[in-house]
Amino acid sequence: MPLSQVEPARYDTLLAEKVERVRALLAPYHPPTPEVFSSPTLGYRMRAEFRVWHDGDALDYVMFRPEDRKTPVPITHFPIACDAIRSLMPALITQLRGQPLLRRKLFQVEFLSTLSGDTLVTLVYHRRLEDDWDTAAAELASLLDISIVGRSRRQKRVIGLDYVVEELPVNEGIFRYRQYEQAFTQPNARVNTRMIEWACRQASGLPGNLLELYCGNGNFTLPLAACFEQLIATELSKRSVKAARENLELNGIGNVEIIRLAAEEVSQAMLGEREFRRLAHLPRALPDYDLQSLFVDPPRAGLDDATVHLAAAFPAILYISCNPETLAANLAVLCESHSPEAFALFDQFPYTDHMECGVLLTRRRMLPA
């Protein structure tokens, strides 16, 4: 997103335009009037990454315009980043400029921070890192009070930790999350909190136990666990499964089982079409868990056909979408059997066309013949 599009004075107008576009797109499926959750107009991003541009002794963060991928645009101020990242950016680049060992063939800088200010920086190189890099990076990490990860081809060197610990205030509690560098996390922590709270309100009173697909590091899993006797959460990424299990332990949550399966594999397991050794640790088979409610937060591609078919078998479906277009395609099928009962829009990405959606669908009662 070009920084020229960051216009706080026009934020309300731009948000209203996005809301109307999404409402028009989803109107054929007759959702109720949406709750709309706005974002802070500045300082909302907990992640940022920049290319690094070398020009003699000069060293700068840069970005590139979509229409011109060859001309670097120096970034001296990034107003949409959180306070911790904004304050760290000039201090870090100043130190890197004076450190030949740390700046040599440095290609990219990635920032990951939290609401509490816990911050990690990843330095990406086009060269192999040796022990002398560790020494210099450790001095820099101590000076700036951060963790640093150095990456190059088939290499990862960690100074401090390779994760931050986020603390999200959800309803009246605090949930703690380990968020690993270069793993997916929600970029807008304050809007993410509103998404989680909305999902928990909708989940309260839903039937049976919950099956969650695409659980990631447990972003929704942890708070949703309080709404059900048992929650089965699935995720394919080994790294995300590791983080989710650590986050369950970190928060003392004991009624969740994490299983490493792709969404289409869950369909096969639920229907008894295939046995998976990755389910051997479960005390009983998936169909025996009284899974009557489904929570999904799929990638931008939405739900594949097999997963839509699986979803349609649940009395209640709670769907978080990062792509209204694929959500509309999925609703075209799901609304043959279900009705939208609640609808919400979350502005995770101000000043862009992106909008996160939340929909609660419940199965319509079939009239007797």
Measured at the CA of 346, the angle between CA 15 and CA 348, to 5 degrees, comes to 85
CA distance 354 to 284: 41
CA distance 320 to 104: 43
Q: What is the band of 34 on the pLDDT scale with cuts at 50, 70, 90?
A: very high
Which of 166, 181, 356, 357 is flagged as catalytic? Answer: 356
pLDDT at 45: 97
pLDDT in tens, 80-137: 999 999 999 999 999 999 999 999 999 999 999 999 899 999 999 999 999 999 999 9
pTM: 0.94
Enter the tokens of residue 108: 């990219």
Specify whether 356 is catalytic: yes
Which residues sit opposite 269 in a β-bridge? none
More confident: 67 or 126: 126
Which of 200, 227, 322, 357 is flagged as catalytic? Answer: 322
Contacts by 279-288, CB closer than 8 A, 24 or more apart: 281/257, 282/257, 286/232
Enter the tokens of residue 71: 């001309």
C-beta separation of 211 from 291 below 8 A: yes
pLDDT at 269: 82
CA distance 344 to 29: 14
Closest CA to 158 of 184, 180, 177: 180
Position 366 pLDDT exceeds 60: no
CA distance 56 to 78: 24
Enter the tokens of residue 155: 């290499």
CA distance 175 to 251: 7
C-beta separation of 306 from 271 below 8 A: no
Closest CA to 101 of 124, 121, 129, 120: 129
> Mean per-residue pLDDT for 285-289?
82
Helix (H) or strand (E) holding 111: strand 106-112
Position 367 pLDDT exceeds 50: no
Average pLDDT over the chain, rounded to an integer: 94
Contacts by 4-11, CB closer than 8 A, 24 or more apart: 5/351, 5/352, 6/42, 6/79, 6/80, 6/350, 6/351, 7/351, 8/41, 8/42, 11/38, 11/41, 11/350, 11/351
pLDDT at 368: 42
* Distance set, CA 273 to CA 149, 152, 270, 312 (Å): 43, 42, 8, 18
Q: What is the dihedral of CA 316, 320, 325, 330, to 10 degrees?
A: -20
> Mean per-residue pLDDT for 57-67?
92
C-beta separation of 71 from 64 below 8 A: yes
CA distance 241 to 225: 16
C-beta separation of 74 from 63 below 8 A: no
* DSSP symbol at 289: G
> Mean per-residue pLDDT for 60-77?
90
**Where do the domains of the chain lie, and which CATH numbers do they carry?**
3-41+185-363 (3.40.50.150), 47-164 (2.40.50.1070)
Position 139 pLDDT exceeds 60: yes
pLDDT in tens, 262-284: 888 888 887 777 778 788 788 88
pLDDT at 4: 76
User: What stretches of 251-341 show up as alpha helix (H) in DSSP?
Assistant: 263-270, 305-312, 324-334
Q: Percent of the chain scored above 70 by pLDDT?
A: 99
Specify whether 264 is catalytic: no
